[in-house]
Amino acid sequence: MKHTRLWLTAGFALLLSLGFFLTRSDAQPNTVKQIVPGVWFREGDIQHAGHCNNVIIEMKDHLIIVDANFPSGARLVLEDAKKVSSKPVKYVFDTHHHGDHAYGNPVWTKQGAITLGYVGVAEELKRYEPKRWQETAKTRKDVGELNLDQPEPPKQTFSKSPYLMNDGSRRVEFHFLGWAHTRGDGFVYLPKEKVLCSGDAAANGPFNYTADGNIGNWPKVMDKALKLDIEHVLPGHGGPGGKEILEGQRAFMTELHKAVEAAIRDGKKVDDVVKMDGTKLVSTSIRLPDNVHNWVGPSLPAQVRDAYQEIAQHKPVGDLPH
Ligand SMILES: [Zn+2]
Ligand SMILES: [Zn+2]
């Protein structure tokens, strides 16, 4: 009896770890998959190259690419785009200002494409650059070899959401739904095909970077996205899926905020909830419920610290000096 129970426990643990393993290993970096006719999802290799995902959208006589990626990622996307369509890339939409989504802009404009973003993307670049570009250029060959002092902002911006494109073959909507991952978060929505490209406002996996974000507002942005009629969600990192990605992303931010708020209410100091090793954050005492485990990973201590600062200082963490 005792042995049976022990075996059951071990078996259950094995299943759990297998489940964990499966969710983390179903990544298919550098593959291109058709989502609906004329819309392809390219999964970026975040682990080895730091690349984001991209979406290729075919219009009547041109292509729209979602996200510029890093320069090396931009070149891979360009090659793959040529394999699925002979049409030229006319627009590249930066979902936000981060290097893995926008530093490839000069590669695309050199090809004759027009880079496009919500006005908040250009404003975030002004806020954080050229410092980040110059730091990245020291460690990333693809950025360094461009020999530029600063990133290239999107050539075209819009401030009224949604911004529309419709050439008769397809209607494409560019939305700003509020501050979640950055102040510039842009979504691409195809109403007929029910496809939503979310950038990093929704990731499928433990990829959330919160330092430029607004953790308290994040779930509200997901609420707005979920009001759209959606079948396919194509996230900035992690594999494609459906609305469950937006719901899970919303639940993760809600649970993170709730758990940290409870710790603050219990009188915990920031050093009680996150542990440092030198200048590196190594662990956190905060535990989140199982339903959000897909979003929990090595960044949790940093996310907890960011949530702590945001709640304690009554300001979006991205508004605090960093
Ligand atoms: Zn990213
Ligand atoms: Zn990002």
DSSP string, 125-165: HHHHTTHHHHHHHHH-HHHHTT--SSPPPPSEEE-SSSEEE
Nearest-angstrom CA–CA distance, 83 and 291: 39
Q: If phi over 0 gives left and psi between -120 and 50 gives alpha, with beta otherwise, what is residue 205?
A: left
Residue 158 CA: distances (Å) to CA of 98, 152, 213, 220, 262: 18, 16, 21, 22, 39
For residue 258, give the amino acid letter.
K
Question: Nearest 5 degrees, angle CA 114-CA 212-CA 263?
Answer: 155
Q: DSSP assignment, residue 212?
A: T
Predicted pLDDT at 8: 42
Structure tokens at 146: 């461009």
Give the distance (Å) from ligand 1 centre to CA of residue 53. 8
Burial class (CB in 10 A: 0-12, 13-18, 19+), 12: exposed
Per-residue b or e along 35-49, where b marks 16 or more CB atoms closer than 10 Å to that residue's CB: beebbbbbbbbbeeb
Nearest ligand, CA of residue 236? 1
Nearest ligand, CA of residue 183? 2
Nearest ligand, CA of residue 68? 1
Nearest ligand, CA of residue 46? 1
Give the distance (Å) from ligand 2 centre to CA of residue 21. 24
Give the distance (Å) from ligand 1 centre to CA of residue 316. 19
Give the distance (Å) from ligand 2 centre to CA of residue 182. 8
Give the distance (Å) from ligand 2 centre to CA of residue 73. 15
Give the distance (Å) from ligand 2 centre to CA of residue 217. 16
Q: Which residue in 78, 156, 135, 143 sits closest to 111, CA to CA?
A: 78
Nearest ligand, CA of residue 210? 2
Structure tokens at 11: 């078996």
Nearest ligand, CA of residue 51? 1
Predicted pLDDT at 202: 98
Nearest-angstrom CA–CA distance, 125 and 121: 6
pLDDT means over runs of 10, the chain (322 residues): 43 42 69 98 97 98 98 98 98 98 98 98 98 98 98 98 98 98 98 98 98 98 98 98 98 98 98 92 96 97 98 98 94
Nearest-angstrom CA–CA distance, 183 and 213: 7
Nearest ligand, CA of residue 235? 1
Give the distance (Å) from ligand 2 centre to CA of residue 101. 7
Q: Which helix (H) or strand (E) holds 170?
A: none
Give the distance (Å) from ligand 1 centre to CA of residue 209. 8
Query: Would the pTM count as exceeding 0.75?
Result: yes
Give the distance (Å) from ligand 1 centre to CA of residue 235. 9
Give the distance (Å) from ligand 1 centre to CA of residue 10. 37
Give the distance (Å) from ligand 1 centre to CA of residue 15. 31
